[in-house]
Structures are given as C-alpha cells and as structure tokens.
Amino acid sequence: MWDDLYNREEYVYGMQPNDFLKENIKILKSPVLSLAEGEGRNAVYLAEQGFDVLAVDSSETGLAKAQKLASLRNVNIRTLAIDLEYFEPEVGQYRAVISIFAHLPERVRKNLHKRLMNALAPGALIILIGYSKSQLGRGTGGPDNVDMLYDLSAIEEEFAECDILLSCYKETMVIEGTAHTGLANIVQFIGRKK
C-alpha cells in the first residue's frame, strides 16, 4: 500500500517538516528516532538542524525518496525499512523519538510504545502528533479506521513512564502535501522519560 502511494514524482505529504516538530525542535537532542517517516520530510529537517537521525518506515520506496531529498538538501540520514510491528529499537539508544502521524492498529501501537520506552534514554523525549478518534469521517486526512486513531488517555497510559510536558486535543488546519489537507482533529503529546 505505502509503496504504491509513494511511487510517484510528487512528495505525497510535502517536502516541508511538520509544524509541531518545528515548534519543538529546540528541546530535542541526538540521536533521534523518527517513526513512520515515509518520504523523509521530517528526518531531513532534523538532519538539517544537526541531528543524527534514524528514519524508520515500512516503505522502501518512501525511504528511497527520503534519501533523494536528503541528497538534494546536502544532509545525511540513516534509514531502515521495516514494519513497525516488528521493529526492535536498541535499548537506551535514543534521546528523542518522533512519531508524526504514525497510525497503527491499537494492538500494534501499544506493543511498539512499550519498546519505544525501552529505547529512550532517561530524560529523553517522545513527541507524538496524530489524528484523534473524532477525525473519523472528516475526509481531511488520517485512517478511516477508528482503531488506528488516537485517544489521549490511551497515549498517556502507554507512556506512563514519562513526565507529561504536553497532552492535548486540538482542531487545526493541517496542510501537508495532498494527503493531509484541511481542518483536522489531532492529538499532541510530549513526554520526558523519568
């Protein structure tokens, strides 16, 4: 599915980084793990800001475009093509994990979030943004499956080992390429591992 979506000249979600990531760039430290990276817009931005970043996505086509974008912008990123259901990040390796519109079935997400907590060093950050359950049916982005949409109480529970720096629902304009365009209901979460 994702390879088919990314197998075109245009960058489906655009070439510019997510606004929430840009707003919070100053609190991040290397190395950074960027999940569901797709075509690389966020990983390349992180690299442009001097971060060591590993971009993980299930789509080899998307990650090839990420490397192309990195080359165009004269930065280096590392990529790993793997389904997030099976991704086992190194324990204690990362100072930040970025999860930008990484929508997974609830069972997969919960298991991944457990592994992410182990991957974070003490004091490291998790930055997450995604479509909330109230986004269902809006037609402005996100999955058509409520099981893959976010609920803040579940996210807070899954990241219970974190001090919560931000946890909110928000209705906002999301303009990211052709696939995320319009007024949307989202969640924003920032946690710091205790």
Cα separation, 48 vs 43, in Å, equals 9
Between strands 78-81 and 94-100, the pairing is: unpaired
Task: Judge whether 168 and 150 are in contact, CB under 8 Å.
Answer: no
- The residue written with tokens 């996100």 in the block is 142
The closest of 12, 123, 112 to 56, measured between CA atoms, is 112
Cα separation, 102 vs 150, in Å, equals 10
pLDDT tens-digit series, residues 113-162: 999 999 999 999 999 999 999 999 898 888 999 999 999 999 999 999 99
Paired with 188 in beta bridges are 129, 168
179, with CB counted inside 10 A (0-12, 13-18, 19+), is middle
**Apex 166 CA angle, 154 and 15, nearest 5:** 95
Domain residue limits at 48: 2-193
Total number of domains constituting the chain = 1
**pTM (predicted TM-score):** 0.94
pLDDT bin (cut points 50, 70, 90) of residue 179 is: low
pLDDT at res. 10: 86
What CATH number is associated with residue 117? 3.40.50.150
